[in-house]
Structure 1
Amino acid sequence: MANVMAFIDGENLTTRYEEMLKTREPRLPDVSEWQIREAVTHIPGKFAWSRHSIRDFALGDNLTRAYYYTTFVGAHDELDAFSAQVGACAAEATVKISAGNLPEVRLIPRVFKKTQKGTKTKSVDISLCVDVLELVKNNALDAVYLISGDVDYRPLIEAVMRAGKRVYVASLSSGRSHVLPNLPDVFVDLDRIYFK
């Protein structure tokens, strides 16, 4: 069984989701005989997530962790409450060639305090990269599942692949670099998960 860990650039996902909301209709809950889809969990300006974001796994892949990286503006007690909200969400990986889902895991919040809204920090990008490289170095995973449309992660993707690990990348189409889909072993377009 191959261990896969997901690393979600929550700032990028939330920003891209909110940009697409201006022109697209979000996916609403759809219950059918074959599949149950949930609406996107969305806290404007702070958080966007669908438990079905991690998908198209190869047979034998097993999602062991899902880290959600973002920043937060506010008091420490508000940050703690927001982190708890993120941690209450789950991720449920979907296998590409199977009629089922893998066991779900909860999101592990990696929330960094930001002094004011609108300022750009690199705390999410740097922390995500350091965590991935540390886990790759320690041989703690077999594959990385990165959710981001940011081409700044290109060196990370290439380094992980040079280390002999598989890389999945998933993103929304808004703001996505045109080179990103060609970099990883597997690319997943999340538009169909978040929008009609």
Structure 2
Amino acid sequence: MSINKTLIFVDGENLVCRYQEMVAAGRIPRPDNIHIKDCFVWNPRILKKHYWHIKRLAYYTSVVGDDDKVKSVREQIAGTMWECDLSDLEDTANCKRGQMIPFVRKKSARSRKESICDIAIAVDVMRACYRDHAETIWICSGDGDFAQLIEEVVHSGKEAYLGAVSSGLNPELKYLVDEFLLLDDAFFVTDAEVDNAKLVLDAEAINAPTGSSLKPLD
């Protein structure tokens, strides 16, 4: 089986902003999420749904703070390892691991809500396409400003993937790519999981000995 080599470009500004919006709206985050407030969020489940032959994963984000804060965030992102399953490939180890490559920019508190990473992502994606660095480009963002960039990726002959959470997702982006991956279930507990947990607790409550303080969820 042959799997195209993939470059992943993560718009961390967009991803962490939308993730935090969903948490504030009541979604239950998974306990294995890796989260730095306003700067970074990731979960290894994102790469579990498909067979990826990842060549590199670049994470773009911004920080409000001094140089020490930028350095700290960069070190934490670089310390987050990604892993892809290559078990279906011949003459290859079962998995490949690597560190995220952090691109962390400093911005002022007054521009906290402004994205300053879009241009850097666009330049790097176009360079990757026209220097033939990989067969597949995966952009992780729901920002509609990337529509033209995605179209250019497709026109260059590369496979185009898009991953994003539902909050703030520009719906038109889904129709521009070869495949769209909704990331909600990677970051948040699903309704089915919540219901199953309630059933388990209800069953334990029914079978609990008399006098037990165990109570089912409301």
Question: For this structure pair, what is the TM-score category when the shorter chain's length is used for normalisation?
Answer: 0.7 to 0.9
What is the alpha-carbon distance in structure 1 between the residues aligned to residue 110 and residue 184 of structure 2?
26
Please name the residue that 1:84 is paired with. Answer: 75
Name the larger-Rg structure.
2
Tell me the CA shift for residue 120 of structure 1.
Answer: 4.2
Higher relative contact order (CA 8 A, sep 6+): 1
Identity rate, percent: 33
1:114 aligns with 2:107: yes
The answer for the alignment partner of 1:73 in structure 2 is 64
1: CA distance, partners of 2:40 / 2:116: 16
* Distance verdict in 2 for CA 1:55–1:155, change over 3 Å: farther
Count matched residues.
182
SS, match of residue 68 in structure 2: helix
The amino acid of 1:132's aligned partner reads: V
User: Which residue does the alignment assign to 1:24?
Assistant: 27
What is the distance in 2 between the residues matched to 1:104 and 1:12? 25
Structure 1 segments, 4+ long, off by >6 Å, are none
One of 138, 141, 144 as aligned partner of 2:137: 144
Structure 1 109/102 Cα, relative in aligned 2: closer, same or farther at 3 Å?
same
Distance 1:120 1:85, change over 3 A: same
- What aligned pairs does 1:1-196 form with structure 2 within 5 A after superposition? 1-22=3-24, 23-28=26-31, 39-57=32-50, 61-93=52-84, 102-116=95-109, 118-196=111-189
Deviation at 1:56, TM superposition (A): 4.1
Aligned AA (2:7): M
* 1:158 aligned counterpart, secondary structure: helix
- Spell out, residue by residue over 1:16-48, the C-alpha distance to the aligned partner (whole angstroms, 9 max, x if none): 1000112111123xxxxxxxxxx1101222211
Return the letter of the residue paired with 1:125: D
Q: Give 1:186 shift.
A: 0.9
**C-alpha contact (below 8 Å) 1:3/1:64 kept by paired residues:** yes
User: Structure 1, residues 69-110: CA drift from partner, whole Å, max 9, x if none?
Assistant: 001111112211210111001222357x99xx7412211000
Contact 2:18 2:168 in 1 (8 A): yes
Which is helix-richer, 1 or 2?
2
Instruction: Give the TM-score of the pair, scaled to structure 2.
Output: 0.77
One-letter code aligned to 1:148: S
Q: Distance in 1 between matches of 2:151 and 2:48?
A: 21
User: Once the 2 structures are TM-superposed, how far is the Cα of residue 52 of structure 1 from its aligned partner?
Assistant: 2.5
Deviates more, 1:71-80 or 1:5-14: 71-80
| Displacement of 1:122 | 4.2
